Chains A and B, each alone.
Chain A
Amino acid sequence: MKKFVLTTTALALCAAVSTTAFAGATLNDVKKKGFVQCGVTTGLPGFSGPDEKGNWTGLDVDTCRAVAAAVFGDAQKVKFTPLTAKERFTALQSGEIDVLSRNTTWTLTRDSSLGLNFAGVNYYDGQGFLVSKNLGVKSALELDGASFCIQAGTTTELNLADYFRANGMSYTPITFDSSDETVKAFGAGRCDALTSDQSQLYALRIKLKNPGSAMVLPEIISKEPLGPVVRQGDDEWFNIVRWSLFAMLNAEEYGVTSKNVDKMAASSKDPNVLRLLGQSGIKGKGLGLSDTWAASIIKQVGNYGEMFERNVGQASALKISRGLNALWSKGGIQYAPPIR
């Protein structure tokens, strides 16, 4: 009998340990090592890539910086791991990185069978085509029989196949490991068109020897909600990443920017702003962070609009318009739950 009790206790203990193994593990781990390890692309203008001084910049990079600002109050406490599309999920699953912020499309398969959770959408995208101007093509429907340069391990491969199947056309796929190689092959004329998320097409076009010789076709053939990803099973960390993004969206909505954040915290009469900046309400308690977590994000990284314009918008080389990524109140679909 004694033995039986001992065994059941041991089993129960094992079960308890295994279910709680991940809750809170990531935040503690991140705090202990003193930085957030963030998985990004191997270089995609506007989204993630090192600048001339070796600092990582981009929309995806800033999403990670926001998390670091929320956790440490210092947006610089991030280390970046460049990953190819093929490597990204394994790196996150194995714990090599804490957040994957790498132009990753939110799909059912990825959300449900990889042991990962998508924390939100920092860019609404769709797949498009980049073709050489002297091909004389005006629409993707004229591309029957063409060959396409694609990056391996992306939703792009599947969308392309779906699109040509749906339209009864044939195509030749030429897949490369990194987006750099796809551009190089496209530039050399190995393929007629390059296909990828439309935001990337503008970014990749800049890398061509003669960017003016290529054009982006009007068709968008898929939905590509891109966002940060975390491991499944650690809800605390999931909440932190998700609300770091929401804080930036709320800040834009209430007109809080990196420039006026201190003034707003001191003198604003808007209860929404005061709750966001940790002056009233639940503050940082629910997330297990300091009260000024959102204020740090806004001060050091900016609100969503600032981040967008700086990296991919009018202030950048890409000059992408807000489109779907405008706030819900301005005709887009970027929408964050209220902070209260």
Chain B
Amino acid sequence: MSADPLSGAAPAKAALWRRPVFRSTVFQVLLILGVVAIANYLFTNTLHNLEQRGISTGFGFLSMEAGFGILQTLIPYDETYTFGRTFLVGLLNTLLVSGLGIFLATLIGFVMGVARLSSNWLIARIATVYIEIFRNIPLLLQILFWYFAVLQPLPQPRQSLDLGGMFFLNNRGFYLPAPVFEAGFNLVWIALAIAVVVVFFMARWARRRQEETGQQFHTVYVSLAILFGLPLLVFLAAGTPLTWELPALKGFNFKGGVTIIPELMALLTALSIYTGAFIAEAVRSGILAVSHGQTEAAYAVGLRPSVTLRLVIIPQALRVIIPQLTSQFLNLTKNSSLATAVGYPDLVAVFAGTTLNQTGQAVEVIAMTMGVYLTISLTISTFMNWYNKKKQLVER
């Protein structure tokens, strides 16, 4: 380091408290101590107050019997399970609606984003109308709209809309046949696994051959043929070891088959359409960010518009889209807690709702719920950052 320009003296002679390193260290230590002290004060003060008011604390309630029912459970659950289990049930319901929502919203978003830039006047206008309408109406209203205005006026179970005697739609849900795997169906799974491996190596071979010789191979069609054909052949050879359990009206409701409850349908529809509109705008901004020269260059070397979009525009646009996509995924996950408005049993409704109320352990329950959303969000964020890094321009 150079000497002090003003005094010209050696820096070692400066007093200890005048040295920048020393001072910055002291202030940082003080800041950390302050933060820890405040956190500690808040924590002990809360505990003290809870104890003083006779409110029981601790996580012992998690092993107590819950005693209430839940509408949709992805894992076995009934009233005799514990409050801890209600946490898992709620968490899985949240993950289900978030996962499906992210998938659908991305799909809708990419299609609509590209459509808005379409040279076809009608398609572009339809996409614009969709985006502007759904992006600008509060999400809660949209959820309530789908639930109370669209799904509730459907007919009663006894007058269900019958779609081919296999699918039934009424105001209590959408009922689908459930597959029942019989002995021998395992062979089909094995065939599918083999097909996946074959397709993987074939794609590698085709790519290498194209890089070396320039010859193209119909990878997509051949892959599809193998992926569907091989398991189908095995399925037929094994004597079709699969039956369908059909939903049937029994007593008050449909029994058997798979039920998609209207709460899930309403929430999922609203979330994916709402977030899809934002993703569409992100996609449009990403595509517009790619210089038009790229398109012209691609056309100049003779690429068709669809190939240009797929091989030239989208890969470059992704670099702009991914960070925005991340925040939309996070928004969707957090917005899924609006489920409680229509009675979808997500984490907030089940755990931070009923469980909180039955046990009265507000601090613990809310802390756990916040912890879960934080964890989900950070996981999505970490994954998307990794993906972003992978897609970024690699300088060679």
State the A residues within 8 Å of B (CB): 18, 21-22, 85-86, 89-90, 93, 109-110, 113-115, 135, 143-147, 152-154, 157-158, 160-162, 165, 171-177, 181, 184-185, 188-190, 192, 231-233
Question: Does B69 touch A at the CB level, under 8 Å?
Answer: yes
Q: Which residue in A144, A147, A177, A184 is a CB contact (below 8 Å) of B172?
A: A147
4 closest Cβ pairs, A-B complex: A153-B357, A115-B53, A115-B55, A188-B152
Q: In the complex where A86-B356, A86-B357, A152-B353 touch, is A176 in contact with B55 (Cβ < 8 A)? A: no
By the criterion CB–CB under 8 Å, are B54 and A145 in contact? Answer: no
> Apart from A22-B52, A85-B357, A113-B360, what 4 extra A-B contacts exist at CB < 8 Å?
A22-B53, A144-B251, A173-B70, A190-B262
By the criterion CB–CB under 8 Å, are B68 and A158 in contact? Answer: yes
Q: How far is the CA of A317 from the CA of B16 in the complex (A)?
A: 83
Question: Does B171 touch A at the CB level, under 8 Å?
Answer: yes
Q: In the complex where A147-B252, A161-B68, A192-B252 touch, is A109 in contact with B360 (Cβ < 8 A)? A: yes
Question: Does B253 touch A at the CB level, under 8 Å?
Answer: yes
B356-376 vs A, CB cutoff 8 Å, 1 = contact: the mask equals: 111110100000000000000
Point out the residues of chain A lying under 8 angstroms from B68, CB to CB. 157-158, 160-161, 173
By the criterion CB–CB under 8 Å, are A175 and B71 in contact? Answer: yes
Q: Which residue in B153, B356, B358 is a CB contact (below 8 Å) of A158?
A: B358
Question: Does B286 touch A at the CB level, under 8 Å?
Answer: no
Q: How far is the CA of A21 from the CA of B262 in the complex (A)?
A: 50
By the criterion CB–CB under 8 Å, are B251 and A145 in contact? Answer: yes
Point out the residues of chain A lying under 8 angstroms from B354, CB to CB. 152-153, 157, 175
Point out the residues of chain B lying under 8 angstroms from A181, CB to CB. 343
Q: Which residue in A146, A161, A162, A185 is a CB contact (below 8 Å) of B253?
A: A146
Point out the residues of chain A lying under 8 angstroms from B22, CB to CB. none
Point out the residues of chain A lying under 8 angstroms from B52, CB to CB. 18, 21-22, 233
Point out the residues of chain B lying under 8 angstroms from A161, CB to CB. 67-69, 79
Q: In the complex where A153-B358, A165-B79, A172-B71 touch, is A185 in contact with B343 (Cβ < 8 A)? A: yes
By the criterion CB–CB under 8 Å, are B251 and A158 in contact? Answer: no
By the criterion CB–CB under 8 Å, are B148 and A184 in contact? Answer: yes
Point out the residues of chain B lying under 8 angstroms from A185, CB to CB. 152, 343
Q: List 16 A-B contacts (CB under 8 A).
A: A22-B53, A93-B53, A109-B359, A113-B54, A147-B252, A147-B253, A153-B354, A158-B68, A173-B68, A173-B69, A175-B71, A175-B354, A177-B343, A188-B148, A192-B253, A231-B53
Question: Does B222 touch A at the CB level, under 8 Å?
Answer: no
Point out the residues of chain A lying under 8 angstroms from B262, CB to CB. 190
Point out the residues of chain B lying under 8 angstroms from A154, CB to CB. 357
Residue of B with least CB distance to A182: B343
By the criterion CB–CB under 8 Å, are A175 and B345 in contact? Answer: yes
B241-267 vs A, CB cutoff 8 Å, 1 = contact: the mask equals: 000000000111101000000110000
Q: Which residue in A162, A172, A189 is a CB contact (below 8 Å) of B67?
A: A162
Point out the residues of chain A lying under 8 angstroms from B70, CB to CB. 173
B26-58 vs A, CB cutoff 8 Å, 1 = contact: the mask equals: 000000000000000000000010101111100
Residue of B with least CB distance to A231: B53
Q: How far is the CA of A176 from the CA of B255 in the complex (A)?
A: 23
Point out the residues of chain B lying under 8 angstroms from A145, CB to CB. 250-253, 255
Residue of A with least CB distance to B64: A109
Point out the residues of chain B lying under 8 angstroms from A22, CB to CB. 52-53
Point out the residues of chain A lying under 8 angstroms from B342, CB to CB. 176
Q: In the complex where A115-B54, A147-B172 touch, is A190 in contact with B152 (Cβ < 8 A)? A: yes
B362 to chain A, nearest CB (A): 5
B356 to chain A, nearest CB (A): 7
Point out the residues of chain B lying under 8 angstroms from A188, CB to CB. 148, 152-153, 171
Residue of A with least CB distance to B156: A189
Point out the residues of chain B lying under 8 angstroms from A232, CB to CB. 53-54
Residue of B with least CB distance to A107: B358
